[in-house]
Amino acid sequence: MTLVIVIRHIDLSVGFGSGFLGAIAAILMMQHNMPVLPTILIVFALGIIFGLINGFLSHLLVSHHLL
C-alpha cells in the first residue's frame, strides 16, 4: 500500500484484496480446521491470481491519461 501511495496512484483494490484474503484465511482455519501452512499457500496463490486479474483488467479498462 505504501508503494501505491508513493507513486501517486490511488488503488483501493489493494486494501480490498488484503481484507478479502484475510477473511478467506480465517474461514479456512476456523471453519475448515485447515493447518496454517496450507492456508498460507492457498491464500498466497489466490493473492497472485487476484493481482494478475486486477492488473490485467486495470491495464485494459483504465485510461492512464486520467490519472
Distance between CA 15 and CA 67 in Å, rounded?
A: 19
DSSP string, 3-66: HHHHTT---THHHHHHHHHHHHHHHHHHTS---HHHHHHHHHHHHHHHHHHHHHHHHHH--TT-
Q: What is the pTM of this model?
A: 0.73
Helix axes 36-61, 13-30, angle to 10 degrees: 150
Give me the tens of pLDDT residue by residue for the chain, a chain 67 residues long.
666 666 766 667 778 889 999 999 999 999 999 999 999 999 999 999 998 998 888 778 766 655 5
Give the amino acid at 59: H
Quote the pLDDT of residue 64: 60
